[in-house]
Structure 1
């Protein structure tokens, strides 16, 4: 037995680095950080440029978070095609209910707790948690924003514990401002004042240097962080008046998903991509990239008793989940194809479960 154990150790140590990286790719997402702590060699592999590239490009994850953090969350790996449960019970007890998960970046989840959960623009408690390292940081009060309209979390460089939280909101003087929180300085700073525009109280997305959000008047705001300028874009249209839309951002770009309903019944789903180019006085256009096939739409409609659904961008994919459904439909933007994910491993039909992408950035140094 001792000889066999020594032989196994020699076989592992003799493996070429690229094969070791390939083996480590198959680790479940919640094992990344535990295995990195084994030794400096393994940590170096996780921190290598090659593995970091693989983790970003080939390991998109979808996480489903319930508002009650005592219940398990679910993570789906598009690489291994499997669901796993992960706990968020490490979030402090006073932050437990209700929690609204708003975005993700660098393995971190941005969430808030609002006293006026259904109707208010009031400023909630913002916090950032990492389900892999089981850490949670409550952000300090903002310097100027008194009523939040939209929020996003952005990665900074390649370090998992560095991020920026951007908030668009109303100041006490009635102006709309953009305020940024830096995880390194642990402080808020007013980034800019933007034209009078009301953002719908939902996600704001970051893509190629700009924040995107849907306005209350039915348009889309694009705020360029570096230049400090704001563009209000018209929504794409379909040949129907019974259309409601969602803004989605993924690796491939910014999209609008439009749902057509009739008599409160889902009839069809269209998708448009935002294309940036000079067109006379305009520098953008909407390009229709696809429509949910009738057979798929019928199947999707049967997966829930409601016409409401959420959609989120993960890697090159757009994921659709109907209200309280255990089934998730995926549109692959790069392949223009539709498919269903495997069913959840348990009956977890949470009304307030939120789908979010979870990007893994295994670049924190070993200590």
Structure 2
């Protein structure tokens, strides 16, 4: 028996590295944690440049994050077509947490410290669900009241990222402040015209930050050129639409929901089309509508007209309030499909949907 155990150990230790990497590529996400814990060699292999290059080009996972990290999070694999639970309880905060964005396998968390410390206070945290590590960002230097925030990759290294915040300074000017993970410092990245942003969700695409303004327009801020463009909604009937902004790898989209007596009636989608040189010559192109039969089924899956949508890769994901199912729109195929239901015991948990790439390089101490 002892000889058999030694022979098995030798077999695994003698397996060529490229075969081990191929095996690693096929593992479901919840097995990554156990894989890393086997030995130092396997842990090093998990963080190899080859695996990160594979992960960078693979279909991202979809993660659903609850406001209370003591509750399990859900993650969906588009390869195995299965839901699995992962824990975010390594973030040591009992107060509610809003997850505001993702990039390079990292999640940007907004910890509601204002519940305890006042309206203008806020704690930002960046965490890696895969390595179960996190870091709390230092206090911003110039922004005293946050309006919107986003996380975006910086450079080609997986351990680098930037957090961008739009807010008001003590002198009531609207400025952009950026946190660099390499220097671990904040600095002013530009200023924008006086504008009120409707919600705190901000997206990065094609070198610009995008968000919805309180007056019903779309603001685009070019980071490199420090140019702000306010774009009108894609339809003159925008007042009767509930607008959601979505960013995918393929572009920027607006999802408009029509309602009647607080009941969802239809969903229309537009894509932003603009020259690479300037946002000034933009236009919106309607790319599709949710079929009435699909809309009826989507409406029946919830007890309210609220829903969220998130872009990932070449897809847009829709989730109705308290629904156990997610509706998927494929931008390339113009097709609608339902993902499998997730566990019924998590149905009533309010979650935020986000895309999650698998990037192993960032591990916070």
Check whether TM > 0.5: yes
Which residue is equivalent to 2:76?
Answer: 76
* Correspondence for 1:170 among 168, 178, 185: 168
Deviation of 1:350 after TM superposition, in Å, equals 3.8
Q: Report if aligned partners of 1:143, 1:188 keep a CA contact under 8 Å in 2.
A: yes
> Alpha-carbon deviations, 1:314-347, whole Å to 9, x = none?
2221111111111111111122111111111342
Unaligned runs of 5+ in 2: none
Deviation of 1:154 after TM superposition, in Å, equals 1.0
> Alpha-carbon deviations, 1:55-80, whole Å to 9, x = none?
13323111111111111111111111
Q: Distance in 1 between matches of 2:279 and 2:110?
A: 39
Which residue is equivalent to 2:27?
Answer: 27
Q: Report if aligned partners of 2:128, 2:362 keep a CA contact under 8 Å in 1.
A: no
Deviation of 1:116 after TM superposition, in Å, equals 5.6
Unaligned runs of 5+ in 1: none
Which residue is equivalent to 2:133?
Answer: 135
Matched, 1:325 2:323: yes
Instruction: Say which is worse superposed, 181-190 or 296-305, in terms of deviation.
Output: 181-190
Q: Distance in 1 between matches of 2:195 and 2:342?
A: 40
> Alpha-carbon deviations, 1:250-293, whole Å to 9, x = none?
11111111101111111111111111228999421111111111
Which residue is equivalent to 1:6?
Answer: 7
Which residue is equivalent to 2:216?
Answer: 218
TM-score normalised to the size of structure 2?
0.89
> Alpha-carbon deviations, 1:176-195, whole Å to 9, x = none?
00001112222111111111
Q: Distance in 2 between matches of 1:338 and 1:355?
A: 18
SS in 2 for 1:58: coil
Q: Distance in 2 between matches of 1:294 and 1:216?
A: 30
Q: Distance in 2 between matches of 1:159 and 1:319?
A: 28
Deviation of 1:159 after TM superposition, in Å, equals 3.5
Which residue is equivalent to 2:87?
Answer: 87
Matched, 1:315 2:305: no
TM-score normalised to the size of structure 1?
0.89
Which residue is equivalent to 2:335?
Answer: 337
> Alpha-carbon deviations, 1:213-244, whole Å to 9, x = none?
11111111111111111111111117675211
Which residue is equivalent to 2:49?
Answer: 48
Equivalent pairs, count? 359
SS in 2 for 1:277: coil
Which residue is equivalent to 2:207?
Answer: 209
Q: Report if aligned partners of 1:261, 1:267 keep a CA contact under 8 Å in 2.
A: yes
Q: Report if aligned partners of 1:146, 1:169 keep a CA contact under 8 Å in 2.
A: yes
Deviation of 1:199 after TM superposition, in Å, equals 1.4
CA separation of 1:34/1:278 partners in 2, compared to 1, >3 Å: closer, same or farther?
closer
Deviation of 1:86 after TM superposition, in Å, equals 0.8
Which residue is equivalent to 1:275?
Answer: 273
CA separation of 1:352/1:363 partners in 2, compared to 1, >3 Å: closer, same or farther?
same
Q: Distance in 2 between matches of 1:278 and 1:130?
A: 33
Alignment of 1:292-307 (within 5 A): 292-307=290-305
Which residue is equivalent to 2:193?
Answer: 195
SS in 1 for 2:274: strand
Q: Distance in 2 between matches of 1:74 and 1:235?
A: 33
CA separation of 1:288/1:48 partners in 2, compared to 1, >3 Å: closer, same or farther?
same
Q: Distance in 2 between matches of 1:224 and 1:74?
A: 34
SS in 2 for 1:299: helix
Q: Distance in 2 between matches of 1:281 and 1:135?
A: 38
